[in-house]
Amino acid sequence: MNTVLIGAQFGDEGKGKIIDILAQKSDYVVRYQGGNNAGHTVEVNGTQFILHLIPSGILHTGTKCVIGHGVVVNPAALLEEIAYLESKGVHVDEKRLFVSEGVHLIFPYHQALDVLKEKRRGRDAIGTTKKGIGPAYADKASRTGIRLVDLYDEGRFYRKLKENIEFENEVFEKVFHAPPVNFEEIFHQYIEYGRNLKKFSCDTIELLNQAVKGKKTILFEGAQGTLLDVDFGTYPYVTSSHPVSAGASLGSGLSPRVFDQVMGVVKAYTTRVGEGPFPTEFKDDMQEKIRSLGKEYGATTGRPRRCGWFDACLARYSVLVNGMNALAVTKLDILGGVEKLKICVGYRNGKKTYSFFPHDISVLRACEPIYEEMDGWSEEIHHVRRYQDLPLATRRYIERISQLLETPVKIVSVGADRDQTIFL
């Protein structure tokens, strides 16, 4: 069975943990979009791994990991991540990691542009991770991007890079009054990165289509979340790629016909890092309480995440646009001890009510959530491994989420560790 695993909220739902679990039974794990803006955490017997580009399946030696052409790759970050894994005893070689020759590369001028543009936006800043993601995808769409395969034709790479840097340096100088970047330095550095990545690079479209033919089990690892999708999210407060399930086809080169299951990961509450509308954001001391209990700080930037109640209106939208047919609910343990839990079931703006997620962010900003209230539970649930052993109120909360989303829950997570998981 081939599964696309996506984030159903604003990212950081706990995808890394669930991928790690499902990877055990997968032949391939494929990243299909985003870049090192992602931060996916996996905990195994108390040891923490944070992955940015390499699929979270890498911790299982029998699993092959693929970075599809839909991903934007900062080669320095990728090489660093390989070294990081090796230093933690995880061997990463060309038999386990395959990087598409077609990935677009992130260059230092993309990162510099990301920072400068955010600064220029002032109060309207998006709150990006400053990794150069937006500018790299913009170059891809403008047909000026440079792909991994270009590094293997020095003459072509030289010409493309020269053209890009000449243009960007003019922008730096004339628009931003910022220092230029150095062509020679970047050229040599990237030729060297290309050499180091050569053994991992291949035609992953062919590789994955062969895997499908051979009836292999493939797991697709979404990064970010549905509400950060450039088409389906709270535009312009989004990332520049397609975290939704359809992105798996676009970013891997496999037909939509190969996907059997779309599993959405939802956190038992909601978080968002960066700017943008967030209707159910806590306005009281719950903000600090949940942030500190849930350790809600960005895995990539360390920024505090904004926290709020579970938003079923938003998640229902996510179910539809992803075609979700399975759910994984994470971080239920963090809600223990909260006397009354709220779930947002719709929005109100004056006399108008919405049961569907509005597209206009100014409407969204003016909306008040319509809540329903449920009893919480006070018991510690970290140790629970069977669904029926969860407190009744916890089960009711999970079942209400499933009912509102009209989607069965297959996995419940009660702690960060691989073991702290309940299968239904």
Only one residue has tokens 């937006």, namely 134
Binding piece for ligand IMO, criterion CB under 6 A, among 116-124, 184-192, 223-231, 253-261: 223-231
Three-class DSSP category at 77: helix
- Examine the residue annotation and report whether 285 is marked as an active-site residue of this protein: no
d(CA 381, CA 295): 17
Binding piece for Mg ion, criterion CB under 5 A, among 34-42, 64-72, 205-213, 232-240: 34-42
- Name the residue among 232, 225, 410 with its Cα closest to residue 330: 410
Minimum CB separation from ligand GDP for residue 411, in Å?
10
Q: Which is nearer to ligand IMO, 135 or 194 (CB)?
A: 135
CB 14 within 8 Å of CB 229: no
d(CA 388, CA 392): 8
- Name the residue among 413, 99, 98, 420 with its Cα closest to residue 266: 413
Determine if 221 is a binding residue for ligand GDP (CB under 6 A).
no
Binding test (CB under 6 A) with ligand GDP, winner from 4, 9, 16, 228: 16
d(CA 205, CA 211): 10
Binding test (CB under 6 A) with ligand GDP, winner from 333, 369, 371, 377: 333
- Examine the residue annotation and report whether 12 is marked as an active-site residue of this protein: yes
d(CA 134, CA 316): 27
CA dihedral sign, ordered 281, 284, 288, 291:
negative
Angle at which helices 108-121 and 133-142 pack, to 10 degrees? 110
d(CA 107, CA 354): 43
Determine if 39 is a binding residue for ligand GDP (CB under 6 A).
yes
From 40, 60, 104, 242, the catalytic residue: 40
Binding piece for ligand IMO, criterion CB under 6 A, among 124-132, 345-353, 383-391, 400-408: 124-132
CA dihedral angle for residue 255, residue 257, residue 258, residue 260, rounded to 10 degrees: 140
Determine if 223 is a binding residue for ligand IMO (CB under 6 A).
yes
Three-class DSSP category at 303: coil
Give the one entry of Mg ion, ligand GDP, ligand IMO, none that residue 334 binds, where binding means its C-beta sits below a cut-off of 5 to 8 angstroms depending on kind: ligand GDP
Beta bridge partners of 409: 327
Determine if 34 is a binding residue for ligand GDP (CB under 6 A).
no
Binding test (CB under 6 A) with ligand GDP, winner from 4, 8, 14, 251: 14
What residues have CB less than 8 Å from 89, skipping those under 6 apart?
none
* Other CB atoms within 10 A of residue 199 CB: 12
Binding test (CB under 6 A) with ligand GDP, winner from 5, 13, 146, 218: 13
Minimum CB separation from Mg ion for residue 51, in Å?
9
Determine if 37 is a binding residue for ligand GDP (CB under 6 A).
no
Determine if 414 is a binding residue for ligand GDP (CB under 6 A).
yes
Binding test (CB under 6 A) with ligand GDP, winner from 2, 3, 6, 7: 7
Amino acid identity for residue 371 in this structure: Y
Binding piece for ligand GDP, criterion CB under 6 A, among 60-68, 171-179, 196-204, 325-333: 325-333
Within 159-317, strands assigned E span 201-202, 218-221, 261-267, 270-272, 306-308, 310-311
Three-class DSSP category at 390: coil
Binding piece for Mg ion, criterion CB under 5 A, among 39-47, 58-66, 69-77, 391-399: 39-47
Minimum CB separation from ligand IMO for residue 153, in Å?
29
- Name the residue among 235, 233, 234, 262 with its Cα closest to residue 246: 262
Minimum CB separation from Mg ion for residue 38, in Å?
6
Binding mask 232-271 for ligand IMO (x = CB under 6 A): -------xx-------------------------------
- Of 43-102, which residues contact Mg ion (CB under 5 A)? none
Binding site for Mg ion (CB under 5 A): 12, 39, 299
Binding site for ligand GDP (CB under 6 A): 7, 11-17, 39-41, 43, 295, 299, 330-331, 333-334, 413-416
Q: Which residues are catalytic?
A: 12, 40
